[in-house]
Structure 1
Amino acid sequence: MAAPDDICLRGGVATFGAQLRRGELTSRDLTLAFLDRIDSLDPGLRSYARVMRDDALADAECADREIAAGLDRGALHGIPVAIKDLIDIADAPTLAGMPFRADHKAVRDATIVARLRRAGAVILGKLSMTEGATILHHPHVPAPVNPWRAGHSSGFSSSGSGVAVAARLCVAALGSDTGGSVRIPSAFNGVTGVKTTWGRVSRDGVWPLVEALDTIGPMARSAADAAAMLGAIAGADPHDPTAAPAPVPDYRRALDEGVDGLTIGVDWDRIERECDPPVITALCHTADMLVAAGARLRAVTLPATHTAAFGAILTAGVADAHRETFPTHAASYGPGLAAMLASATELEARDVAAAMNAADRYTGQINALFEGIDLLLVPALPYPAPPAAVLEATLLAGGEAFERFFLYTLPFNISRHPTITFPAGFSDDGLPCAAQLVGAHFSESTLLRAAHRFQSMTDWHTRHPAIG
């Protein structure tokens, strides 16, 4: 058998699945390889909040028995994955990045965890995150370390998910996205992440940030792996009345449809004004590859975006999520989140109404764009991962720098459109650069197949940091 690191580094859902079904590999051996790699590397990377070794091995042994008996639960059967620690797993604490919740134990699995179990996935553990899924880690929770460059930001709030996937400490993971929390760590860590349409995936058993914006999506090594994850978790849910009843496509089957005939809108003027050169290069490369695969480019003008106009929705939504714990446990909160919650008392109803009206207008403008295009190509972020301390200072300062950072993430939460973020190059100093495709509501299948086509022509998504 190959060394554990070799097993973890090579392949993805389809490759591992084929090996399991041919009997070349057992789920127990695969799971052990990941657990050993976690033991070896994660003390320095800090991506896991909780490793569930015994449970994972028991699940893997069950998968091996089922596969040997001829039962096939699908693409994820026997595949080791990990879960962001705001998603409930029965009998395990859900901290959501807040240490005072250490005594909280979930009474049952979140719907999406139950669906992963039905798909035969092996859950390795729960992944670290920022405090309450906001932009800062709690002072007592060390931030996960970017495996490409220690000291540079690993993103937020699904920081542990991005690091674990990039460092090959799981095959795939789940993250959440309210203002960019799947896309930011995907971009900074060089992985593929899907920000789903609001309502595409149930949020039952998920600690909220802003319920009107919260989405759950996969973070994986490739679009193909993300398709397998999304297919397992998407769909209506009686436990969550906001989960959309729209049928769930076969995302994996649609991957090979390609992009021939698709029209992709690009606002090059804005991209060149707002992005650093490595990101512009990555987007040009992405456009060239998709055109070579049969897509058409169309110049578009993106509507003006002022993220501050939406701020009252965020502040009011976060305050509602914490109404039972703040200010009761105010002393247990980090200073950043505590300050945000305290400021919510100054909000007026008309501020929230104005933000909601601005959101509706922006959503209508984006919907109008999709009357003439199939997809929109934009940056995920305007620059590669900066030093963590620099980014934190930038975000705390607010103003234009804050606005620039969230320019291509938060607006698509406001409009509830799905996106896919994927690696499309590197900066001269070796940091990942990402592209983002945006689609009409519930067009995840088109997004996945476009990213898959790009990844079939390039190898950016196969590269991983040299660690350990």
Structure 2
Amino acid sequence: MSEPALHFASIADIGALYRSRALSPVELTRSCLERIAALDTTLNAFITVTAEQALRQARQAEDDLHAGVDRGPLHGIPVALKDLVETAGIRTTCASRILRDHVPPRDAALVRRLSAAGAVTLGKTNMSEFAMGVPHPDHGQTNNPWAPARTAGASSGGSAAAVAAGLCFAAVGTDTGGSIRIPASYCGLAGLKPTYGLVDLTGVFPLSWSLDHAGPLARSSADAALMLDAMTGQRHPASAQLRGLRFGVMQASGPGVEPDVSALFAAACQALQAAGAELHDVEVPELELADAALLNVLLPEASAVHARWIAERPAEYAAVTRQQLQLGFAIPAVTHVRAQQYRRHLTRQFLTQLERVDALLSPTVAFVAPERDPDLTGTQGALEGLRTGPHNLTGLPALTVNVGFDADGLPVGLQVVTPPMTDHRCLAIGAALEGLLPHARRHPSLA
């Protein structure tokens, strides 16, 4: 396998090469580090590259595998971590000036699980400041591998760009209103927001503790499933037979949906029907209230996290981040409580629909990657998260998969939502859909 092809191989294929001794974890890790050095000046995907640690982990993985110690599918696989996930002895900045020198004494729970699975950590990826959706000027925006003049997405954009560009094979992101799924959609990836609470968030800096999720970004649903297994310490292999599955189609059109997004979503639905699935139109009452409810939960919780720093060190925040955090202090407690009440109502509505169908489908985002990340509290920000945010409120597993490219060659995502704790079924449906759309499996060409 040529070196460029190697960087876009599946995790399973890399594992097979390792175990046949046709490829060395050290060799592949060194090649990934060289690729980061060559491309990251364009992408701005990494804040910290941990080359020495990565090579040390790769040597250990190689020694283990040669000695017959096999820790599973992720053993020796190069991955990356969003820079709000604590790493012992390695700075965790949250892409902020406030934490620019913060070096945690211990690893986050999910990092300990990835280490136990033998993964090789290449470094910490760029993100919006404190995951609020706006890059700090010290770090800047992550650029999209498909079109570097456009964003890779906030706030897990560094993780998405690194995977899409072949700098690593999977990455950890976090999602509070769509921040795994939106960058994954913009970069042509599979990105899963797991069931709320499935992935342990101990050691992950919070944005909004009742909405936060951590999950995998990968180039396929199958790779994302392997990453999820490692992050949870559980293995739940699943496959999906599309014939006879019932899908509820929702929000397929509406304000701001670009024609190519609508067309590619429709083509994916037609492919599911041709494979024997049933499609039914679905509508969730009062869904239009979800964006306001999300902000009325998120902003006060974020403000509570940052109360001391926003009082003592306000100038160290990016201006828009500071403004968003200050908004949270102005939201009345009654408004926050009503948002939580609506949240329960919305969850019941979705669960009722999921008693009638096996999964819900929608476009992930109404449009392809824009030039700049929209403000979280702005009109375009609301439109961007219109289809992702509701599932942070409900906590349901939600996956985006790539279903093709628009006329300018930019990726388009489709979102799959399934009942609570059916994350592997959700990923299996994603894998089956990806199998129907081989034209969607291309990779960006970066010089």
Per the shorter chain, which TM-score range?
Answer: over 0.9
**Structure 2: gaps (5+ residues):** none
Match of 2:252 in 1: 271
Matching of residue 437 in structure 1 with residue 416 in structure 2: yes
Matching of residue 64 in structure 1 with residue 68 in structure 2: no
Matching of residue 398 in structure 1 with residue 381 in structure 2: no
With over 3 angstroms needed to count, the CA separation of the structure-2 counterparts of 1:68 and 1:90, relative to structure 1, is same
TM-score (norm 1): 0.92
Paired residues for 1:151-190 under 5 Å: 151-190=149-188
Counterpart AA for 2:112: A
- d(CA) in 1 for partners of 2:295, 2:113: 34
Cα deviations by residue, 1:353-400 (Å, 9 ceiling, x for unpaired)? 111112111111111111101100011100111222xx53xx37724x
Report the secondary structure of 1:326's partner residue.
helix
Deviation, 1:459, is: 2.2
**Structure 1: gaps (5+ residues):** 236-247
Is the 1:196–1:216 contact (alpha carbons within 8 Å) kept by the matching residues of 2? yes
Counterpart AA for 2:323: A
Cα deviations by residue, 1:324-352 (Å, 9 ceiling, x for unpaired)? 42222211111111112222232221111
Match of 1:75 in 2: 73
Match of 1:5 in 2: 4
With over 3 angstroms needed to count, the CA separation of the structure-2 counterparts of 1:341 and 1:380, relative to structure 1, is same
Cα deviations by residue, 1:190-217 (Å, 9 ceiling, x for unpaired)? 1110011110100011000000000000
- d(CA) in 1 for partners of 2:16, 2:110: 24
Paired residues for 1:141-290 under 5 Å: 141-234=139-232, 248=234, 250-251=235-236, 253-255=237-239, 257-267=240-250, 270-274=251-255, 275-290=257-272
Report the secondary structure of 2:322's partner residue.
helix
Report the secondary structure of 1:92's partner residue.
coil
With over 3 angstroms needed to count, the CA separation of the structure-2 counterparts of 1:396 and 1:266, relative to structure 1, is closer
Deviation, 1:443, is: 1.2
Match of 2:281 in 1: 299
Report the secondary structure of 1:322's partner residue.
helix
Is the 2:404–2:440 contact (alpha carbons within 8 Å) kept by the matching residues of 1? no
- d(CA) in 1 for partners of 2:411, 2:80: 22
Q: 2:326 pairs with 342, 345, 369, which one?
A: 342
Deviation, 1:309, is: 3.1
With over 3 angstroms needed to count, the CA separation of the structure-2 counterparts of 1:402 and 1:118, relative to structure 1, is closer
Deviation, 1:298, is: 1.6
- d(CA) in 1 for partners of 2:106, 2:408: 45
Percent identical? 36
Report the secondary structure of 1:290's partner residue.
helix
Deviation, 1:432, is: 0.6
- d(CA) in 2 for partners of 1:118, 1:349: 43
Q: Decide which moves more: 118-127 or 349-358.
A: 349-358
Match of 2:86 in 1: 88
Deviation, 1:232, is: 0.9
Counterpart AA for 2:340: M
Q: Decide which moves more: 454-463 or 102-111.
A: 454-463
Cα deviations by residue, 1:229-254 (Å, 9 ceiling, x for unpaired)? 0011126xxxxxxxxxxxx5x34x31
Is the 2:184–2:191 contact (alpha carbons within 8 Å) kept by the matching residues of 1? yes
Paired residues for 1:117-128 under 5 Å: 117-128=115-126
- d(CA) in 1 for partners of 2:322, 2:253: 37
Report the secondary structure of 1:317's partner residue.
helix
Report the secondary structure of 1:188's partner residue.
helix
How many aligned residue pairs are there? 444
Counterpart AA for 1:124: L
- d(CA) in 1 for partners of 2:370, 2:326: 29
Is the 2:216–2:227 contact (alpha carbons within 8 Å) kept by the matching residues of 1? yes
Is the 1:134–1:209 contact (alpha carbons within 8 Å) kept by the matching residues of 2? yes
With over 3 angstroms needed to count, the CA separation of the structure-2 counterparts of 1:234 and 1:396, relative to structure 1, is closer
Q: Decide which moves more: 348-357 or 159-168.
A: 348-357
Report the secondary structure of 2:335's partner residue.
helix
With over 3 angstroms needed to count, the CA separation of the structure-2 counterparts of 1:185 and 1:196, relative to structure 1, is same
Deviation, 1:460, is: 4.5
Counterpart AA for 1:221: R
Q: Decide which moves more: 293-302 or 418-427.
A: 293-302
Match of 2:365 in 1: 381
- d(CA) in 2 for partners of 1:422, 1:99: 34
Match of 1:47 in 2: 45
Paired residues for 1:357-372 under 5 Å: 357-372=341-356
Matching of residue 422 in structure 1 with residue 401 in structure 2: yes
- d(CA) in 2 for partners of 1:130, 1:254: 34
- d(CA) in 2 for partners of 1:462, 1:16: 17
Deviation, 1:424, is: 0.3
Is the 2:29–2:58 contact (alpha carbons within 8 Å) kept by the matching residues of 1? yes
Cα deviations by residue, 1:41-65 (Å, 9 ceiling, x for unpaired)? 1111110111000000000000000
Counterpart AA for 1:284: A
